[in-house]
């Protein structure tokens, strides 16, 4: 926290302070496979969008390609693509229909719904602390969303 006072001559009671505040949401996902993990991440992200902002019908399918150095970065890039789609194109991916993972490239086909206005709650998914781990029951992921 940083406090400052006015630089005006004389005695002033005016003051301000800057307070650090962490605004983030951690998304934890569990799924049997990576395609199902991406699908669940898409569903989870969609839960952040208020129902009143969603169109009533699924809109045409779109294909997406994102790159990353590992599964955690691929997941983060897909979430950031959704942030862009919701804010700029006013389109929310709702159902992941197909996923292909080829090394450092992820290809997805999704259908979604139009939004009535831009959704801007989520600023970005971050790589900081992002992870995807695998065990005998499947995959677990954790990603932090800046809000």
Angle between helices 71-84 and 34-47 (to 10 degrees): 30
- The enclosing domain of 116 has a CATH number of 3.55.10.10
Do the domain assignments include residue 3? no
At 55-91, the pLDDT tens digits run 877 778 999 999 999 999 999 999 999 999 999 999 9
C-alpha span between 133 and 138 (Å, rounded): 8
Do the domain assignments include residue 18? no
Do the domain assignments include residue 50? yes
C-beta neighbour count of 54 within 10 angstroms: 17
Do the domain assignments include residue 71? yes
C-alpha span between 21 and 19 (Å, rounded): 6
At 15-65, the pLDDT tens digits run 676 666 578 899 999 999 999 999 999 999 999 999 999 987 777 899 999
**Structural domain of 90:** 23-146
Dihedral sign, Cα of residue 43, residue 46, residue 51, residue 54? negative
Do the domain assignments include residue 82? yes
Instruction: Quote the pLDDT of residue 8.
Output: 52
Average pLDDT over residues 1-21: 60
Instruction: Quote the pLDDT of residue 117.
Output: 95
C-beta neighbour count of 30 within 10 angstroms: 12
pLDDT value at 3 more than 80:
no
Which H or E run includes 81? helix 71-84
Instruction: Quote the pLDDT of residue 5.
Output: 47
Which of the pair, 93 or 13, is modelled with greater confidence? Answer: 93
Instruction: Quote the pLDDT of residue 18.
Output: 64
Average pLDDT over residues 92-97: 95
Please count the structural domains in the chain: 1
Which of the pair, 30 or 8, is modelled with greater confidence? Answer: 30
Do the domain assignments include residue 73? yes
Do the domain assignments include residue 10? no
Q: Which residue's entry shows tokens 């932090």?
A: 144
Do the domain assignments include residue 114? yes
Q: Which residue's entry shows tokens 């590992």?
A: 70
């Amino acid at each position: 926290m940083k406090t400052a006072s006015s630089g005006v001559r004389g005695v002033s009671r005016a003051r301000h302070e800057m307070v650090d505040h962490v605004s983030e949401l951690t998304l934890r996902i569990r799924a049997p496979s990576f395609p199902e993990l991406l699908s669940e991440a898409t569903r989870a992200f969609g839960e952040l969008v208020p129902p009143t902002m969603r169109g009533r019908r699924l809109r045409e399918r779109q294909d997406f390609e994102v790159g990353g150095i590992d599964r955690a970065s691929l997941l983060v890039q897909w979430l950031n693509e959704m942030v862009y789609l919701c804010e700029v194109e006013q389109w929310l991916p709702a159902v992941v229909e197909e996923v292909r993972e080829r090394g450092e490239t992820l290809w997805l086909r999704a259908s979604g719904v139009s939004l009535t206005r831009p959704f801007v709650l989520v600023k970005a998914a971050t790589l900081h602390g992002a992870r995807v781990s695998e065990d005998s029951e499947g995959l677990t992921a954790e990603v932090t969303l800046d809000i």
